Structure 1
């Protein structure tokens, strides 16, 4: 082989190395969860959504008139705004969100939900977050009273006979095996654990999660909206995705249920990866291409993947790319009033495909505002 041939081979090898490095950089850029185009950073987006929430009156599931009590979508958004404020080091926002709460100790006391149902009990996650950020004991007392009641003796008109049987086995008497519960229950109990360090709270949440996984998760990793409704309704699955990610974020690896929950979480994430649209969105019915792109579920699934990547549970390249695409597309649905569009209205179960395809698409519904704040928080962690 002559000198020129050797030189040519060396140049080709060098070029291929550079190309390989460039491709690797391109892949990493696609999966980058730190650097964002102008206007798309979690700080910018989260600030707009959080301050907008704080200026919004108590809302009644996007229906006219004020609610009788704080609804769970407001609770979820309030919690998201507080966690965002913490990660963004925005003390002004924390103060404003605290001021929003103060009337509940006085003139608005009747708006604190009676915690006789998972949708009402999740409210306790907000005072517990306020306690962790302000160290004011009144918030801890209120939050723990709700968390403890969730595992206390069954009470109230919402208790059903089946729940008593679960309570006798060490589960909450609010057990009903609806997939929504795995955010509502675990968020409250995980918050109580974070606020106190008392392991009983996180152990409760983990045991409850395993019950739901064993009873409800399908072989493909997803969840029907209900056992008698064979549809993968996206927001319903979103509650499971966020619930597992939030729980695993604080669950000690020594917990006997840790491996089972991690498996359930990873199985779900792998399945969701297959159904993400090329533009980054997920659809109202996850596996139905004829259904419409829906923002609340996209936010929830994106949060779950961000959390997995940041904690090293998921492949950084594969899921980082999915999470980045999800976030960048999701925020394009925010309008000039800082309201997210294309949010599925609250949905009762029904064994009817057309029922799900025809659900109303809301604007500014807090079901959709909350996941944006969760994502912004997770990206800043």
Structure 2
């Protein structure tokens, strides 16, 4: 028997059989540890280093420094802030001689093969320390190339955000790179203080962040957008009006063309002609948003605006915090003058605008820009980050789209409904909307910068892990809010899943993953990554094809993965070897039975696949119940009593058994009543502590043909996201079962 917590530290010791209390404990701990922290908005210079479609930073200095001569040196540097120790695998492709220094030490030096082989890629395992980490590159130009590509492997999952070094660029995102130089100025890694002053570094660094004297002589819209007579731009700021109550204020300044001003969402001034203006208005004290629409004139474009309370100038400040930028105004344009929109909709950092100019390579949309050379506002996901071992720091997970958090959001929704806790439902919807509200922007961000800074997995949808689980939670939340964005995104997920996902000839989903360790495999996990979404999509849209697909996949996966002698599932079928691995991983089996219960819940009695799926459900339950431990838990490898006992699979078996009894799916329900209640009791005694922490959940899995990998390498992680939501779901279903039994049901 595996021991994770002492008896006195268990939730059962404190709450006994008060299941509502334990569910409250789980939900409140999660929300408390994961506050609703938004994306971070930073200044980014589009003239700087972009990313490839795979997420590597493209430091091709032959393009960035076209005047550099063969033999010259140049350097690049970046900062990484890490909330905790974090292990990442970096990929490096050399375009010429390269030395990579990590936290002051030489971590990699290129060899001749790396430098001249076009497709060579080095993988480097690095340990980021808590706090600041320093990345520095020394590069030398040869006739073959100059620079490198560097970044995180699996970048859409294991995100690597970099910040600009030097005090003058504090808070800005992205790498900096130096001008070329004949001498190795920073020989042997003697780089300047990357947290110090750029002016003391001895070199000029790019991208540039300051306007030239000539550009400073222009009005802001001119230097940001160029001249586009008749087109419009929006400028957004905030004013702080002193005092209390209403204040008589004066708007004064100059405009190069027609000007419209809103303050606090109310229209306060329209200037039809260019020239000076002055207007007296009554404004409430406090901070108010200011929106200006400026029309480009024949020879100039822009405005100057001062707001006075009496004779004192009111402070203009950023409308939303943009790190690495000190000016008060954000700008969006050029837009069409006919694109009239509600000011409250314009003043949003999730809003894109129609590009009124366009041209080759343009994306058709524009977003907020800065009064700085090639300066852009860009949102970044900077909350909890995954490492190579799937562990996360103690930072909030809020706003991340990934599959374990899809289960968590589903758990919060169901717990909120059962306990009549609207705050849990609102929190779950807020997390989901943090992703969906930025969906259109994140697609644009990828087109504009090469790789998205938010919603990485949703935008770069290539496998079921990227979309199915969180998409299912999104559709579950749709019943609470009917957000039309949810259905629009679900349509794209369904199109990918039904029409574009790789399949075997018989129609079975599988993982093509060319060049990856998992190439040409089928995973039991993917039943969860697909079928719950398909059944919810069918329910909302009426798509019979989606429901039929969900039913079909269970029958196809059974053909490859079912182990009939024990009535359990192999984790993976490897088509490279034309055989299943034969290892019944606990959570892989949990995903299977959990998802089958999701589909059976909505599959009509007359559906042709229902009898076969009900029989499959009974077979699996019969196999699982025989392998339950005396303390209620199941083993990490189900048929290996030497493997540790694992909490997430236990929760999924409890969930499915409770549903099977309550919905009448089990031919002999009595053993499963006892097994479900015993499993939940085992979890409250052995896995859920008195603070609501969840123990005994194994981290995200790869696969193996041997059980040793699952037993010895795939170890448990405290509060792993793979287990928190399913604990809540197990608790809700067992509590429903107990209430159902208490009503005198058989």
Q: Cα distance 1:85–1:196, how it changes in 2: closer, same or farther (>3 A)? A: farther
Output aligned runs, 1:166-177, within 5 Å: 166=505, 177=522
| C-alpha deviation, 1:38, in angstroms | 4.5
Which position in structure 2 is the counterpart of 1:203?
A: 548
Output aligned runs, 1:167-246, within 5 Å: 177-219=522-564, 220-227=566-573, 228-246=580-598
Give, in whole Å, the separation in 2 of the partners of 1:77 and 1:135: 20
Give, in whole Å, the separation in 2 of the partners of 1:39 and 1:147: 43
- What's the CA shift string for 1:95-122, capped at 9, x where partnerless? 1222223322456852262332111122
| C-alpha deviation, 1:165, in angstroms | 4.3
Do the aligned residues in 2 keep the contact of 1:187 with 1:246 (CA within 8 Å)? yes
**Which of 1 and 2 has higher RCO (CA within 8 Å, sep 6+)?**
1
Which position in structure 1 is the counterpart of 2:677?
A: 324
Which position in structure 2 is the counterpart of 1:285?
A: 637
Unaligned runs of 5+ in 2: 1-13, 35-382, 443-453, 513-520, 574-579, 737-746
How many residues are treated as equivalent by the alignment? 335
- What's the CA shift string for 1:204-225, capped at 9, x where partnerless? 1001111111221111211112
Q: Do structure 1's residue 121 and structure 2's residue 429 form an aligned pair?
A: no
Per mean C-alpha deviation after superposition, the further-off stretch among 182-191 and 95-104 is 95-104
Give, in whole Å, the separation in 2 of the partners of 1:73 and 1:56: 16
Rg larger for: 2
Q: Do structure 1's residue 138 and structure 2's residue 467 form an aligned pair?
A: no
Q: Do structure 1's residue 147 and structure 2's residue 475 form an aligned pair?
A: no
Which position in structure 2 is the counterpart of 1:77?
A: 408
Do the aligned residues in 2 keep the contact of 1:306 with 1:320 (CA within 8 Å)? yes
Which position in structure 1 is the counterpart of 2:49?
A: none
Give, in whole Å, the separation in 2 of the partners of 1:240 and 1:326: 18
Do the aligned residues in 2 keep the contact of 1:49 with 1:373 (CA within 8 Å)? yes
Unaligned runs of 5+ in 1: 1-36, 155-162
Which position in structure 2 is the counterpart of 1:49?
A: 26
Which position in structure 2 is the counterpart of 1:101?
A: 432
Per mean C-alpha deviation after superposition, the further-off stretch among 64-73 and 306-315 is 64-73
Q: Structure 2 length as normaliser, TM-score?
A: 0.42
Give, in whole Å, the separation in 1 of the partners of 2:508 and 2:637: 30
2:702 paired residue among 336, 348, 364: 348
Q: Cα distance 1:86–1:103, how it changes in 2: closer, same or farther (>3 A)? A: same
Give, in whole Å, the separation in 1 of the partners of 2:542 and 2:730: 25
| C-alpha deviation, 1:164, in angstroms | 4.8
Give, in whole Å, the separation in 1 of the partners of 2:631 and 2:567: 22
Which position in structure 2 is the counterpart of 1:16?
A: none
Which position in structure 2 is the counterpart of 1:160?
A: none
| C-alpha deviation, 1:329, in angstroms | 0.8
Give, in whole Å, the separation in 1 of the partners of 2:679 and 2:503: 41
Do the aligned residues in 2 keep the contact of 1:151 with 1:173 (CA within 8 Å)? no
Higher strand share: 2
Give, in whole Å, the separation in 2 of the partners of 1:140 and 1:106: 12
Give, in whole Å, the separation in 2 of the partners of 1:88 and 1:335: 20
Give, in whole Å, the separation in 2 of the partners of 1:81 and 1:343: 18
Give, in whole Å, the separation in 1 of the partners of 2:420 and 2:544: 28
Do the aligned residues in 2 keep the contact of 1:151 with 1:171 (CA within 8 Å)? no
- What's the CA shift string for 1:231-287, capped at 9, x where partnerless? 211111111111111111111121111111111111110011111112211111111
Q: Cα distance 1:88–1:147, how it changes in 2: closer, same or farther (>3 A)? A: farther
1:312 paired residue among 641, 664, 667: 664
Per mean C-alpha deviation after superposition, the further-off stretch among 54-63 and 89-98 is 54-63
Do the aligned residues in 1 keep the contact of 2:648 with 2:722 (CA within 8 Å)? yes
CA root-mean-square deviation: 2.5
Which position in structure 2 is the counterpart of 1:334?
A: 688
Q: Cα distance 1:143–1:56, how it changes in 2: closer, same or farther (>3 A)? A: farther
Give, in whole Å, the separation in 1 of the partners of 2:533 and 2:431: 20
